[in-house]
Amino acid sequence: MRLSTKVRYGVRALFDIAYHSSGLPIQIKDISKRQQISQRYLEQIFQKLRKAGLLKSKRGPNGGYVLARPANEISIGNVIEAVETETDLVPCVKKKKRTHKKCVQYDICATRSFWDDASVKILDYFNGIYIQDICDKAKEMGIKREIDYRFMYFI
């Protein structure tokens, strides 16, 4: 299984929001800068994450993006399901749209059930890793959190 850049960048962006936001909306330009991901590409990914209920947006001068649920309730599996069109290892075990008719071996394939089991186990593994786990790892690694200075005024 190869995870797309949409999945990897989606996870990094959700981590960034959880780790750096302190509960305040974060602008996409800040996420883009910290994670070195194109703003346009992030916008495409964020559309899917919003549609899946993982992300909320707030308009206006103090707007930006916030997690729709706590970081300990958003798994990498949620991100995979939100941004990937296919999550199965091989085409003949697809859940969303059966394409087994294209496979001449479908009815006599001894390996199909193993591919199906592997797909399920891999997704289960990713469903057990949460954005909060990544935040905890970042803290353990000593990754510095950026403080939002939008509301600090000096006279």
Query: Measured between alpha carbons, how far is 148 from 146 in angstroms, rounded to an integer?
Result: 6
Looking at residue 105, its pLDDT comes to 76
What does the pLDDT look like over 66-116, one tens digit per residue? 999 999 999 999 999 999 887 777 777 665 555 555 677 777 888 888 888
Q: Which CATH number is 29's domain given? A: 1.10.10.10
Question: Residue 51 sits in which domain range?
Answer: 5-87+130-141
In a domain, 94, yes or no: no
> What's the average model confidence in pLDDT over 8-24?
93
pLDDT surpasses 90 at 19: yes
Q: Are 18 and 132 in contact (CB under 8 A)?
A: yes
Q: What is the pLDDT of residue 91?
A: 75
50 is a domain residue: yes
What pTM, to 2 d.p., does this model score?
0.85
Picking from 82, 86, 114, 108, the residue whose alpha carbon sits closest to that of residue 7 is 82
Residue 106 lies in a domain: no
- Domain assignment present for 119: no
For residues 95 and 84, is the Cβ–Cβ distance under 8 A? no
pLDDT, one tens digit per residue, over 20-59 is 988 889 999 999 999 999 999 999 999 999 999 999 999 8
Q: Would you say residue 152 lies in a domain?
A: no
- Chain mean position to CA 139: 19
In this prediction, residue 50 carries a pLDDT of 97
Would residue 96 count as lying in a domain? no
82/145: higher pLDDT: 82
Is 90 exceeded by the pLDDT of residue 138?
yes
Q: How many domains does the chain have?
A: 1
Q: Is residue 153 part of a domain?
A: no
Instruction: Tell me what pLDDT residue 89 has.
Output: 79
The answer to whether position 105 is within a domain reads no
